[in-house]
Chains A and B, each alone.
Chain A
Amino acid sequence: TQLLEQSPQFLSIQEGENLTVYCNSSSVFSSLQWYRQEPGEGPVLLVTVVTGGEVKKLKRLTFQFGDARKDSSLHITAAQPGDTGLYLCAGIGSFQKLVFGTGTRLLVSP
């Protein structure tokens, strides 16, 4: 069974702080996605990383895929209250099924 563990589970920070969320697995994934989910809504895709070692930037968010394609990280610079939400990593696993991580709930206070 392919599993994705995220850490930390919860993060409460002040506006302007930096943070990193980690997504780890013992399995190799062909690609990895990051989603953000807000209350009452479904997850929204932020990025897909495909190549080991790949780094992608989306404004203040930086995503990295591990060299061995087993782990990934999301770094947010100067967090804002609008970044509040549930962050989910998801790996494309066997038979093209999406395997979601355990989730990181982020609260950014003004």
Chain B
Amino acid sequence: KAGVTQTPRYLIKTRGQQVTLSCSPISGHRSVSWYQQTPGQGLQFLFEYFSETQRNKGNFPGRFSGRQFSNSRSEMNVSTLELGDSALYLCASSSRTGPLLNEQYFGPGTRLTVT
């Protein structure tokens, strides 16, 4: 079974631009979560999507948004990029359908650098 894939793996953008990152979950998984990892703040939850609906959201500004398609693939978008948005963005998929969180499988991440 193929794992979680994320594209692109590396990205360099300039302040003020916007960026879209993509995540393809493990086949059959309908839950996709996004996380931001930085040296200073560690790994922080951004949001979770299930069946094309945002089910959960972390404490990030509205510049961070996401969506999920009918095939469970997900994208996250960051608008008006700031230097502090430089981070490793991780996507995780799980077979979760009910209210309880279960095992999440992480992708390799997209390394975003904002200059």
Scan A89-101; emit 1 where CB is below 8 A from any B CB, else 0.
0101001111111
Chain A residue numbers with a CB within 8 Å of B44 are 100
Question: Interface size on B (CB < 8 Å)?
Answer: 21
The answer, yes or no, to whether A82 is at the interface (CB within 8 Å) is: no
Q: Which of chain B's residues 68-115 have a Cβ closer than 8 Å to chain A?
A: 90, 92, 99-101, 103-109
Q: Which of chain B's residues 14-55 have a Cβ closer than 8 Å to chain A?
A: 33, 35, 42-45
Given contacts A41-B108, A42-B108, contact A96 B43 (CB under 8 A): no
* Chain B residues near A (Cβ < 8 Å): 4, 33, 35, 42-45, 56, 58, 90, 92, 99-101, 103-109
* Chain A residues near B (Cβ < 8 Å): 40-45, 48, 88, 90, 92, 95-103
